[in-house]
Amino acid sequence: MMGMREHSVATQQIEGLISLRRYTYKDIKRITNFFQEKLGQGGYGYVYKGKLRDGQLVAVKLLKNLKGDGEEFINEVASINRTSHVNIVSLLGFCYEGSKRALVYEFMPNGSLEKFIFKSDTSEANQQLSRETLYSISLGIAQGLAYLHRGCNSRILHFDIKPHNILLDQNYCPKISDFGLAKICPREESIVSMLGARGTAGYIAPELVIRNIGGVSHKSDVYSYGMMVLEMVGGRKNFEVGVDRTSEIYFPHWIH
């Protein structure tokens, strides 16, 4: 009974997003040419390149392994539907058809920031960005975060700021993406309640892991942003998989 009630609430939340275009799964297959070109993948699912009828290029995020009634999907749609900012990726539409869930975003030709700051064997990832460009990118991300925290009618806490979730357009203008872990709260609330830690190891703020050192707030995003900037400057990940001490996963010893 509880599951049916939750499903009904989720459906009402999605159907209330009248400002977004709703696509059928058949539309999604047509837009992506039957999922021909994969741009990336992660724990959430896959991202495919697509084209709308008017010729506009898009990125289609096809979600899989949704928990419960797809809380992450609803979070992402509800959060990003409230935004309009040059440093926030634009959501153009969505698919909510049975177990099929997809998000249609504007296409970012330069992909994620991650490939430009971490060394890799691939030639694409070895492209170097100038310090001026990196500074401009870091400033744009900060402006996007300030908008989420103070510029919307409701405060949006992202909880997963990291290079992989920063997309770059043709001019290397950064766009914050992936709002699956986001939390919407009233602007006047300084501290928010959390049932569990959210985020990615290496970027999670201490208060999300150790509850007795302070409350969770928009400052948790600021911490993640700072960790990401350190990676941009140092050109290396701050998360070390092979460390023996758990504390070093969240507070790498090379940061002083």
Q: Report residue 71 as tokens.
A: 């809380």
Distance of CA 255 to the CA centre of its chain: 25
Q: Is 61 annotated as a binding residue?
A: yes
Per-residue burial over 52-75, b if 16 or more Cβ lie within 10 Å, else e, is: beeeeebbbbbbeeeeeebebbbb
Task: Give me the DSSP letters along 177-194.
Answer: ---TT-EEEETT-SSB--
User: CB within 8 A of 188, min separation 6: which ones?
Assistant: none
Provide the terminal-to-terminal Cα distance of the chain, rounded to the nearest Å. 53
Give me the catalytic one of 27, 54, 121, 160. 160
Residue 160: active-site member = yes
Question: Residue ranges of the alpha helices (H) in 67-213?
Answer: 71-80, 114-117, 131-146, 206-209
Q: Which residues are annotated binding-site positions?
A: 61
Q: Which residues are annotated binding-site positions for ATP?
A: 61
Residues identified as active-site: 160
